[in-house]
Amino acid sequence: MTTHPHGGGQRRGDELRRHVLVAAKDVFLAVGFARASMDTVATQAGTSKQSLYAHFETKDKLFDAVLDLVRELYLSHLGTPETYVDDPADTAEAVSRFCGPFLQLMTWHAQVPTCRLSIAEAERLPRSSRAYFDAVFATT
Q: Give the pLDDT score at 8.
A: 47
Query: Can you spell out the DSSP letters for 80-117?
Result: -GGGGSS-TT-HHHHHHHHHHHHHHHHTSTTHHHHHHH
Q: Quick check: is 32 in a domain?
A: yes
Residue 15 has pLDDT above 50, yes or no: yes
Q: Quick check: is 50 in a domain?
A: yes
Q: Give the pLDDT score at 11.
A: 66
Structural domain boundaries enclosing 133: 13-138
- As a whole number, mean pLDDT of residues 96-110 equals 82
Q: Quick check: is 4 in a domain?
A: no
Report field, pTM of the whole predicted structure over 0.85 = no
Q: Quick check: is 52 in a domain?
A: yes
- As a whole number, mean pLDDT of residues 36-54 equals 95
- pLDDT classification of 140: cutoffs 50, 70, 90: very low
Q: Quick check: is 7 in a domain?
A: no
Average pLDDT over the chain reads: 84
Domain count, the chain: 1
CATH of the domain at 38: 1.10.357.10
